[in-house]
Amino acid sequence: MPQIRFVVALPSEAKPINHHFGLVRDNNALGFSLYRNRGMALVISGVGAERSGQATAWLRQQLPEPALWINAGIAGHAHLPVGQGLLASRITDKTSGRAWHTHLPAAPPCATGPLITCAEPETEYAESALYDMEAAGFFAAASAAAPVHRILCFKIVSDNPQSPVHGVNRELITRLMTAHLAVIERLAGSIGKPLPEAGA
């Protein structure tokens, strides 16, 4: 069975994934909440890029086998509707300006678009992009654990200018994650095959 590593920020993001894949809490794990079932594991990082990076590095230490890494959760967007799921095609750290281009599956199971990681919840939505608080930390740490084609960042729009971030709650988050379990399962089954080189 392929090795899959999920990194999520919130228990409300984790709950549907844990239930769907039968992941059970590892009570021996110290430092972060860890859920496992055979080749799959999920860690709850807490909010923020630093925590996400720390949890990703910690999970790699706990389970060093080669794996497909998936950061899943919610994000804001300038204009897309609440409930739209996207794979991040580019991740930018708003604080440092550092950016990463991701390698998407050859046939993505959902739409794709750029993502900006912020230190605080976004309320201006100045660019046509996803806005989250974890992806940059996750991607930087996951890049030390896996080749880029085995690192995916899947976000579901939870807020936009018409539905502000202060209206987001645990029930909405869990509902959004549950609605996209089929996409998450397809991502977990993709095993991150690299795309052919341009012109190949």
| Residues spanned by the domain of 144 | 4-190
DSSP state of 168: -
CATH number for 119 = 3.40.50.1580
How far apart, in Å, are the Cα atoms of 24 and each of 54, 150, 186? 21, 24, 21
Strand runs (DSSP E) across the chain, as ranges? 4-8, 24-25, 33-37, 40-44, 68-77, 85-93, 99-101, 111-117, 130-132, 151-159
DSSP state of 71: E
Any domain includes 141: yes
Any domain includes 197: no
Alpha-carbon gap, residue 58 to 73, rounded angstroms:
19
Any domain includes 195: no
Residues with Cβ within 8 Å of 200's Cβ and at least 6 positions away in sequence, in order, are none
pLDDT in tens, the chain (200 residues): 579 999 999 999 999 999 999 999 999 999 999 999 999 999 999 999 999 999 999 999 999 999 999 999 999 999 999 999 999 999 999 999 999 999 998 889 999 999 999 999 999 999 999 999 999 999 999 999 999 999 999 999 999 999 999 999 999 999 999 999 999 999 998 754 544 433 33
Any domain includes 199: no
Any domain includes 126: yes
Any domain includes 174: yes
Any domain includes 196: no
Alpha-carbon gap, residue 134 to 54, rounded angstroms:
11
Find the DSSP H helices in the chain: 11-21, 49-62, 135-142, 170-179, 181-190
Could you give the number of structural domains in the chain? 1
Any domain includes 198: no
